[in-house]
Structure 1
Amino acid sequence: MVESTPVVILTGAGRGIGFAILQYLLGLPNPPNILAISRNIKPLETFAAAHSNLQIASVDLSAPSSQLKSEIVTEIIGAAVSKWGRIDSLLLNHGTLDPIAKIEAAELEDWEANYRVNFLSNVEIIKSALPELRKSNGRVVLVSSGASSIYFTGWGAYGSTKAALNHLNATLALEEPTITTISIAPGIVDTDMQASLRGVHGKVMTTGENEFFHNLKENESMVKPEEVGAVLANLSLRVEKSLTGKYLDWNDELLSSYRPKA
């Protein structure tokens, strides 16, 4: 019996880790069908023109709840099912660091926007995809952060959303035993987010925290997007059931089989 080509929904695909994931998946000998989501799809248009297995969609995951739900149901879940008739995997990689601000300077509107992007949109995508994921015994890969349990000045919004994401992961594993779900901390990755952190947000953090991030860059100690992207991509295709509900660092020994062989 010929197996169907798996269908992967990838969010945050336009840059950084997400773009590295997309390139890895497209470069596989037998690539999956991919619906790549990004607010800005301009960087993806050339890829979409060259790969018949790639569809792209622009979705603003920071939108207010009613609009967000409508776009997710129509532009993400509906689009994938309409095109390929199934969903096998969600690789939920999108996120925003802002606002970086101490609690004494917190603006609730900024926190609400952060929670819509980093947490609530994930809940809605998963909820909307559940009927299809149950059919396929599918997979959910959540991109979390070490900031869920390591603390930096001004990171209250971002870190708390990632902690909530880990709890969502464990709850999903409990409630949906036919679906395999995992939450991954990708390490400190050399992306635009880190550049913004060093260049824009330094005034909020302490001197020691600033030095920590600048030293990582100067010493070339950050994770390359391609390294962690490959692990996340492979998890989206074949994560083992024994890992369901776990929160792991991307380079954990339990994930050694998901790293490309040298």
Structure 2
Amino acid sequence: MTVTSPPNPTALITGASRGLGAAIARELAPTHHLLLGARSADALAPILAELPAATGWPVALTDYPAVAAAAQSIERLDVLVHNAGVADLGTVAGSSVDQWRTTIEVNLIAVAELTRILLPALRAANGHVVLINSGAGLRANAGWSSYAASKFGLRALADALRLEEPTLRVTSIFPGRIDTDMQREIVAGEGREYRPEEFLTAETVAGAVRAAVDTPRDGHPTEIILRPR
């Protein structure tokens, strides 16, 4: 008698073309079939060359009809990692309406809508939603108002989803500042010298995602907070 091994679980990672998203993809690749999201197929080319078993999922997350169309073929989803986001920083006095709208649209509304669209697939797998939040989702600092507001909202979304969907696990991860290209842009805007040793590595945060996903089913990792040492 031939015994067929069950297929690997499926994980969709948004913002997977570089930085933390790519690190999460590398971390989950040995055990999961990966759907890797980014705004364009060209952006995904390097990580797909590195992880040829993965499948590209190129779509702009704020183009909601396109997201719905791209999600139609996903019937079962074991892990959804919300990693895509923007950090357009500014003071309350110096921030425009467009800045607020874009930040909240990308960091919160698009996350809520993608989750809603994929709920049937997540329910079918008793799946796991992992939201990459931020230390700014726990405290708001000067100059970070719109970003912190979007991340406070993301925490509220996770808390509500956890209560509304009891068959799912929902984990918010709150990393401190991470050594990524985005961080380099932030530090440049702050007018400081970039010192990578001040920040978490993307691999460390990806390891926290792995730890959450690998937690046995009798445990529900609701929040993970990481700070640079």
The TM tier, using the shorter chain, reads: 0.7 to 0.9
Contact 1:38 1:57 in 2 (8 A): yes
2:57 corresponds to which residue?
57
Number of positions where the alignment pairs a residue of Structure 1 with one of Structure 2: 224
Counting aligned pairs with the same residue, the percent is: 28
- Alignment partner of 1:249: what SS? strand
Alpha carbons of structure 1 residues 220 and 137: separation in structure 2 relative to 1, 3 Å: same
Match of 1:97 in 2: 87
Question: Aligned in 2, Cα 1:239/1:110: closer, same or farther, shift over 3 Å?
Answer: farther
The corresponding residue for 1:257 is none
Equivalent residue, structure 1, for 2:34: 34
Partner residue, 2:207: 230
| Deviation digits for residues 106-127 of structure 1 (CA, Å, limit 9, x no counterpart) | 2111111111110001101110
Q: One-letter code of the match for 1:78?
A: Q
Aligned with 1:87 (options 64, 69, 77): 77
Residue 5 of structure 1: CA displacement?
1.6
Q: Which residue of 1 aligns with 2:170?
A: 181
Per-residue deviation, residues 107-164 of structure 1 (Å, max 9, x unmatched)? 1111111111100011011101111111111110000001112222221111111111
Whether 1:249 aligns to 2:225 is yes
For 1:133 and 1:219, locate their aligned partners in 2 and report how far apart those are by CA, in whole Å: 37
Are 1:220 and 2:209 an aligned pair?
no
Measured in 2, the distance between the counterparts of 1:53 and 1:243 equals 29
Q: Does 1:78 align with 2:72?
A: yes
Instruction: Map 1:120-135 onto structure 2 (within 5 A).
Output: 120-135=109-124
Could you report, residue by residue, the CA deviation over 1:60-86 in whole angstroms, capped at 9, with x for unpaired residues? 22x3xxxx22122112x224x2xxx42
Residue identity opposite 2:69 in structure 1: T
Q: 1:241 to 1:109 in 2, by over 3 A?
A: farther
The 8 Å contact of residues 140 and 181 in structure 1, kept in 2 or not, is answered as: yes
| Structure 1: gaps (5+ residues) | 204-209, 252-262
> What 5-or-longer segments of structure 2 have no aligned partner?
none
Task: Output the amino acid matched with 2:201.
Answer: K
Corresponding residue for 1:19? 22
1:216-240 CA-partner distances (Å, limit 9, x unpaired): x537131111111122134345564
Shift of the 229–219 alpha-carbon distance from structure 1 to 2, 3 Å rule, reads: closer
How far apart, CA to CA, are the structure 2 residues paired with 1:135 and 1:179?
10
* Helix, strand or coil at the partner of 1:34: strand
* Cα pair 1:14 1:41 within 8 Å, conserved: no
* 8 Å Cα contact 1:8/1:32 also seen in 2: yes
Q: Do the aligned partners of residues 153 and 239 (structure 1) sit closer, same or farther apart at CA in structure 2, a change above 3 Å counting?
A: farther
* TM-fit CA distance, 1:95: 0.7
Contact 1:92 1:141 in 2 (8 A): yes
Rate the CA distance shift 1:231–1:219 in 2: closer, same or farther, 3 A.
Answer: closer
Other structure's SS at 2:153 match: helix
The letter for the 2-side match of 1:119 is L
SS of residue paired to 2:6: coil
- Normalising to structure 2: TM-score of the pair? 0.88
Pairwise CA distance, 1:47? 4.3
Distance 1:24 1:242, change over 3 A: closer
- CA deviations 1:4-57 (Å, max 9, x no partner) are 32110100101111011112222x2xx311110012443532543565531112
Partners in 2 of 1:241 and 1:89 — Cα distance? 17
Tell me, yes or no, if the aligned pair for 1:140 and 1:236 is still in contact at 8 Å: no
Over 3 Å counting, the alpha-carbon distance change for 1:121 and 1:58 in structure 2 is same
The separation in 2 between residues aligned to 1:50 and 1:4, in whole angstroms, is: 21
CA contact (8 A) 2:17 2:47 kept: no
